């Protein structure tokens, strides 16, 4: 092989390696799982420390706020499975008992640690479908 082919081959290997490494590090840091509470709580140890978006419903009368702070403790449930969650920050207006939520953060041995701006509560629908009318054929 002549030196020109070796230089092209070496350059190609370096570029492919650099791009592959960049993609790997970008994807590994950005990996986030979207799961329902019952899926995670079926085997919590498998999900500890992984970045999650957790979907469920706020358990009625479980929301507690430490006076004078933005610290919230609450429970989220789905299909009979419950996870304790803690969050520091401002919660959406729609965050209340029985509201549908998605929380972002990490599961630990003592519950779910919600990251900043990690509480998303679904807005209740203000509109209902109109009843179907019989066609006038």
Confidence of residue 126 (pLDDT cuts 50, 70, 90): low
Domain map of the chain by residue range? 1-31, 32-121
Phi, psi values for residue 99, rounded to 5°: -75, 150
Q: How far apart are CA 26 and CA 81, in angstroms?
A: 33
Question: Structurally, what CATH architecture does the domain formed by 32-121 represent?
Answer: Beta Barrel (2.40)
pLDDT at res. 11? 93
Q: How far apart are CA 113 and CA 73, in angstroms?
A: 10
As beta bridge partners, residue 84 has: 75
Q: How confident is the model over 19-48, as pLDDT tens digits?
A: 888 887 776 666 789 999 999 999 999 999
Scan for tokens 């993609």, then name that residue.
23
How far apart CA 137 and CA 135 sit, in angstroms, is 6
């Amino acid at each position: 092989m002549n030196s020109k082919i070796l230089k092209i081959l070496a350059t190609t290997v370096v570029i492919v390696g650099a791009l592959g490494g960049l993609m790997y590090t970008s994807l590994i840091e950005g990996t986030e799982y979207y799961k329902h509470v019952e899926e995670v709580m079926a085997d919590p140890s498998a999900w500890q420390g992984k970045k999650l978006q957790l979907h469920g419903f706020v358990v009625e009368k479980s929301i507690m706020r430490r006076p004078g702070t933005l610290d919230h403790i609450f429970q989220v449930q789905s299909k009979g499975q419950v996870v304790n969650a803690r969050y520091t920050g401002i919660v959406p207006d729609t965050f209340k008992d029985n509201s549908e939520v998605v929380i972002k953060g990490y599961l630990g041995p003592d519950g779910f640690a919600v990251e900043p701006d990690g509480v998303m509560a679904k807005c209740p629908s203000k509109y209902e479908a109109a009843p179907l009318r019989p066609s006038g054929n």
